[in-house]
Structure 1
Amino acid sequence: MRCLPDQYLTPEDLVVMMRLPSVETVYQWRRKGTGPRGFRVGRHVRFDPEDVRAWVESLMEGAA
C-alpha cells in the first residue's frame, strides 16, 4: 500500500502553484476530465501531490 502524503492539495493550492487565473480553471479541468486526478472528501476536492506530479509529467511528455 502507498504511503499517504503529508498533505493533500486543494484547488486553491493548484491555483497558487501553477499561477492559474482562478480556481474555476481547476473545476473546468475536472468537468472536462483534463486535469490531475482528484477526489472528494464530503463537499471538498483534494489532490494527491503524486497524482499532480504525474499529470504535469504527462503534459511535458506530450509537449516534447
Structure 2
Amino acid sequence: METIELPENRLWTVEEVAYYLGVPVQTVYSWRGQGRGPCGRRVGKRLRFRPEDVRKWVSSLSTEVAS
C-alpha cells in the first residue's frame, strides 16, 4: 500500500480522509449521504475535511463502542 503524507496545515480531500480511515472513497461519500461520518464542508464543488474534525469523529466512535 502506498504511503501518503497527510498535511496538517490545510483541509483534507475525500481521498485523504479515506486513506486515514482505511476505507474506500465511496464509503466516505456514503456516510455523508446517510448523515454519518466526519464533518465535511463544500469548498466550491469540492468536499473538504478539517483534520481535527476527522480525528474528533474517530475519537467519538471509541466512546460509543465503550458505552
* Structures share fold, TM-score greater than 0.5: yes
Are positions 1:54 and 2:48 aligned together? Answer: no
Q: Distance in 1 between matches of 2:22 and 2:51?
A: 16
Unaligned runs of 5+ residues in structure 2 are 1-7
Residue type of the alignment partner of 2:27: T
Tell me how far 1:17 sits from its aligned partner.
1.2
Residue type of the alignment partner of 1:27: Y
Number of equivalences = 59
> Which residue of structure 1 aligns with residue 3 of structure 2?
none
* TM-score w.r.t. length of structure 2: 0.81
Q: Distance in 1 between matches of 2:21 and 2:29?
A: 14
Unaligned runs of 5+ residues in structure 1 are none
Q: Distance in 1 between matches of 2:17 and 2:41?
A: 14
Tell me how far 1:50 sits from its aligned partner.
1.0
Runs of 4+ aligned residues of structure 1 deviating over 4 Å after TM superposition are none
CA RMSD, aligned part only?
1.1
